[in-house]
Amino acid sequence: MGSNNDLASLVGHGIKGRGAVSNATGRYESIVKIAVDDGWRTSIDERVVTQWRDDATRTIITRNQSPDIHFDRSINPYRGCEHGCVYCFARPTHTWLGHSAGLDFETRLYAKRLAPELLKQELAKPNYQCEPIAVGVNTDCYQPLERELQITRALLQVLLAARHPVYLITKSSLIERDIDLLTELAENQLITVSITLTTFDTELSRKLEPRATAPHRRLKTIQRLASAGIPTRVSVSPIIPALNEEEIDELITKAAGAGAISAYGIILRLPHELQSLFPEWLHTHYPLRANRVLKALRSMRKDSLNDARFGHRMMGSGPRADIIKQRFKLACKKAGIAEGRSIELDTTQFRPPHGHGQMSLF
């Protein structure tokens, strides 16, 4: 599948159920395609359909050395994400596959159906050292395709059998399907779940993250997970100044009331193609606020739309960033929950899968 520029909507038009409003050619392509409005847009919405294919990866655990996050390894069962969140920092990774970070990211998906078997093989290696694995960091591991393929559930079964700790993050209520596995992991101090809660404004949510679970339904998910004894955090991310910034207190307060034990937040990041995709989206859906939002972002990113430096990329810098951090901290204190990571997982119970390691020479 190549880039899907023929499906691109011009700036100034939104596509129902989709986040991106364009489909620019990826930065690694030698030929650039440009969408032109010829006035015949009557059926464009009908032609933007989701397709998926198998991913050919041979390894499943991705490792990192970032000082900004509290885990050094992760698993993403899917490439691309149908939720269509326009702010997703993973969008630029789709250009590695020859696709666009725009509409292609949310309509051209890849599924790692061999992930459970690959995970068994990696956990069984003699030199494997157990540390928590984060699942669903880049793309949502409970996006709609998971309902059919159940890759995430199979991964959780492998991790449970190996008594391996795991961090889960999602914005989908589909996670409730796996409460049986999550409860058993929680009983052994092997899991925390983070539910992303961005806004309670239903109109904003439909435009910002069009195919994700509705915000108030996510609140119910927090309640159900917490009631089952599963340590649940809320991710108030991304924080977008002059757009959802004013909801910080309400989001944290209601999440705490539903049973969340801690909260953390990340200020909007705009790496690579997002520096054009997000402004396009803003000017399309919130034209009167667009310049104000972008100016606020620049004030926290050294007069740029992105600052990739460790220690700055998650929360920014400058007076406005400091105010947001203080407000977040105070909101957590008032709600009676912790800020950031609040529970350590147990790595001592790990038992490698049998029959998947290197065969003996004799």
Mean pLDDT across 7-24: 70
Handedness of CA 161, 235, 316, 300 (dihedral sign): positive
Strands ordered across the beta sheet of 62-63: 62-63, 73-75, 133-135, 166-170, 191-196, 232-239, 262-267, 338-339
Mean pLDDT across 282-310: 92
pLDDT at 38: 54
pLDDT at 189: 97
Mean pLDDT across 287-311: 90
**In which band, very low, low, confident or very high, does the pLDDT at 24 lie, cut at 50, 70 and 90?**
confident
Which one-letter DSSP state was computed for residue 198? -
C-alpha–C-alpha distance, residues 307 and 317, integer Å: 9
**In which band, very low, low, confident or very high, does the pLDDT at 34 lie, cut at 50, 70 and 90?**
low
Instruction: Reply yes or no on whether the pLDDT at 337 is more than 60.
Output: yes
How far, rounded to the nearest angstrom, does the alpha carbon of residue 203 sit from its chain's CA centroid? 20
Mean pLDDT across 176-183: 98
What's the pLDDT tens digit per position in 127-175? Answer: 999 999 999 999 999 999 999 999 999 999 999 999 999 999 999 999 9
Cβ(107)–Cβ(278) below 8 Å:
no
pLDDT at 236: 96
Instruction: Reply yes or no on whether the pLDDT at 109 is more than 70.
Output: yes
**Could you give phi then psi for residue 146, rounded to 5 degrees?**
-65, -30
| Range in 25-39, 153-167, 222-236, 279-293 with the lowest mean pLDDT | 25-39
| Range in 47-51, 283-287, 334-338 with the lowest mean pLDDT | 47-51
Cβ(151)–Cβ(52) below 8 Å:
no
Helices then strands, each counted (H, E), the chain: 12, 11
Q: What is the pTM of this model?
A: 0.89
Mean pLDDT across 334-339: 96
Instruction: Reply yes or no on whether the pLDDT at 123 is more than 90.
Output: yes
Higher-confidence position of 153 and 344? 153
| Range in 54-68, 84-98, 230-244, 250-264 with the lowest mean pLDDT | 54-68
pLDDT at 207: 96
Instruction: Reply yes or no on whether the pLDDT at 5 is more than 50.
Output: no
Domains of the chain in start order, with CATH, are: 5-39+52-339 (3.20.20.70)
**In which band, very low, low, confident or very high, does the pLDDT at 340 lie, cut at 50, 70 and 90?**
confident
DSSP E strands in 81-160: the ranges are 108-111, 133-135
**In which band, very low, low, confident or very high, does the pLDDT at 2 lie, cut at 50, 70 and 90?**
very low
Residue type, 203: E
